[in-house]
Amino acid sequence: MIGPKLPYRYDHYTWPEIRNLIKKQPVVVLPVGSTEDHGHHLPLDVDTFVVSSICDAAAQQIPDEVLLLPEVAYGFEDHHMDFPGTITIRDDHLLNFIVDITKSVAHHGFRKILIVNGHGSNAPILELAARRTVIETDAHCGALNAGAGVDVDEIVESDVLSHADEVETSVYRYLNDAAVQMDKAAHEVKVPVSRYYWRGTVRGKGSAPLRMMDQWSRISETGVIGDATLGTVEKGERFFNAAATELAALIREFRALPIEPRVDHH
Ligand SMILES: [Zn+2]
């Protein structure tokens, strides 16, 4: 590790120390991101960098209640492969890889495991991984998207949020403005809003009822869907701090949720 040993980092402890920590039952948190195109203005590491930074900030708020695992930097990206640089992990590989991690954690006696997602298309796979962990171990395991619970309409101006958009651009600018090429930021919303289908979340409408992920190169020229030109450091700071505070509160509640005994009614 670089720097001091952090009390909330799973991988900063020795194995006898981890053995002692099992008694305290902190929530073991796994961030999952992606290595993926994010427009002409953002690096490939947006999802991984943002989700791991939000998890780190949440853990700093409640360091005795969390053990933060090293992040998974790859996700399910088959629909982004027309964009150079993107790395995709097949859905079944990602599912099994994540369940291998959660089952390892449960094997050691941890009973609360939380998967925090930074890349939209990982979401159904991570939810399934969490469900499988609950069924196949004695642990509680849940999944959520980073930023869940944040009132995003209060912070941003865009009507459409989807990808490499105002939120992602703002948060990245807050975390490392020097790595964002704002002169190349695009405003692109190619897909119309119909009655049942649109991309991302639309102000006042939320997510579309029809779940369909198109090939990304059919629905975006630059990789952006949304308005990246509106991204600012100030909006990013507000979103980031709200996301970290929401996550810390959720972790606390999740930790306190009792695991009731099963009842076999045969
Ligand atoms: Zn992203």
Q: How far is CA 217 from CA 11, 34, 78, 185, in A?
A: 38, 18, 11, 17
The pLDDT assigned to 191 comes to: 76
The pLDDT assigned to 118 comes to: 98
DSSP one-letter code for 227? E
Going across the sheet that includes 160-161, the strands are 160-161, 201-202, 206-207
User: Which superfamily does CATH assign the domain made up of 25-256 to?
Assistant: Creatininase (3.40.50.10310)
The pLDDT assigned to 190 comes to: 83
User: How many other CB atoms are there within 10 angstroms of residue 50's CB atom?
Assistant: 26
Which secondary structure element, helix H or strand E, spans residue 97, and what is its range? helix 91-107
CA of 152 to the centre of ligand 1 (A): 16
CA of 54 to the centre of ligand 1 (A): 14
Mean pLDDT by 10 residues, the chain (266 residues): 95 98 98 98 98 98 98 98 98 98 98 98 98 98 97 95 97 98 96 88 92 94 97 98 98 98 97
Instruction: List Cβ neighbours of 139 (8 Å cut-off, separation of 6 or more).
Output: 102, 105, 106, 110, 111, 112, 113, 133, 259
CA of 95 to the centre of ligand 1 (A): 19
CA of 10 to the centre of ligand 1 (A): 25
CA of 39 to the centre of ligand 1 (A): 10
Sign of CA dihedral 76, 79, 81, 84: negative
The pLDDT assigned to 9 comes to: 98
Radius of gyration of the chain (CA): 19
Which of 224, 195, 198, 223 is closest to 211 using CA atoms?
A: 198
Show the tokens assigned to 181.
């090429």
The pLDDT assigned to 193 comes to: 84
What residues are paired with 163 via a beta bridge?
225
- Whole-structure pTM over 0.85, yes or no? yes
